[in-house]
Chains A and B, each alone.
Chain A
């Protein structure tokens, strides 16, 4: 689609430069590779499956850790599959949760087939209609300059949809052992004793 200029990894890298101890959940596919490309860390929980559930994992985490910022990074196909979660998050409204959809209007992993976000669905509009106090679509470099504030500091729940170009990027592969990534995340958040003892 014409008019899309932003590059997903460039935008994400700039927005998350001062991510500190922010907790991340990524939707399967490109979003997982994108976050991994910024460097692996214990506070990243990467999905390699469970399509449609990234935002709800973020909600459970945000409720459990109300003092920590929780950011879900996902793609448009993954978010479309989990669209009902907008109503659940909009009803609960956790102030510490932000969702960032890197929207290239494609099911990238399965062969770049078009998604509904290029055919009429406005994800930020849906989120606003479901009660998200902050829901925006970012298309320009000037708008992208505010993405870090939206994701890391703006009272949520925040929905930030970033329209990004459809490009083939190298896979940056994080650990794929789910049990390992889960336990490492819990140790990072809770400490080893609380995370591993009954």
Chain B
């Protein structure tokens, strides 16, 4: 495939009228975050923790704007009370893209428990989950997920599998910051 899924994802954000994008950085989200940051029609908000992004998205909706929240799978654990207590209780639409760790070929044992818990935990608080296991699945799932979230007032998560992003190979002498 020639086009990276992030390019199509950004195009679907624009087509759906997404105006705010909250994010906590992840290596797998780098290109999507960059595209959103370069887009003057989208206000990007860097959050210190993923829970903040859920609140931001609800506030955006109160003010008439659609938001998307971008996070790594470990961040899902930080969002659960906000999703249950705010999004589900008041029937807010919510749309999130989660780049996965702790599954396909994971090399860091500390990522596995939360990564494996993402889907059941999200479903337990009412989130509709689409998991993209191939790069070709990601953009259609984002397009469909955005429509479902904002047309039916549902919380929707698109999980981008580690199989799509690629797993890290851990080497003892590797330089820091290279993911």
Contacts and interface: CB of A to CB of B under 8 A. Distances in A.
Q: Tell me what chain A mostly uses at the interface: helix, strand, loop, or mixed.
A: helix
Interface of B: 19-20, 43, 45-49, 51-65, 67, 81-82, 85-86, 89-92, 150-151
Given A53-B58, A91-B46, 20 more contacts: A23-B62, A50-B89, A51-B81, A53-B82, A56-B53, A57-B55, A60-B20, A61-B62, A63-B56, A63-B59, A63-B63, A64-B20, A64-B60, A84-B49, A88-B46, A178-B86, A181-B90, A182-B61, A182-B90, A186-B64
Contacts of A179: 90-91
Contacts of A68: 63
A64 B64 contact: yes
Interface residues on A, range: 35 or more
Contacts of B56: 56-57, 59-60, 63
Given A50-B81, A87-B48, A60 B89 contact: no
7 contacts: A48-B89, A60-B62, A87-B48, A178-B86, A182-B92, A186-B64, A190-B64
Contacts of B55: 50, 53-57, 59-60, 85
Given A92-B45, A178-B90, A61 B52 contact: no
Contact of A64 (B62, B81, B85, B86): B62
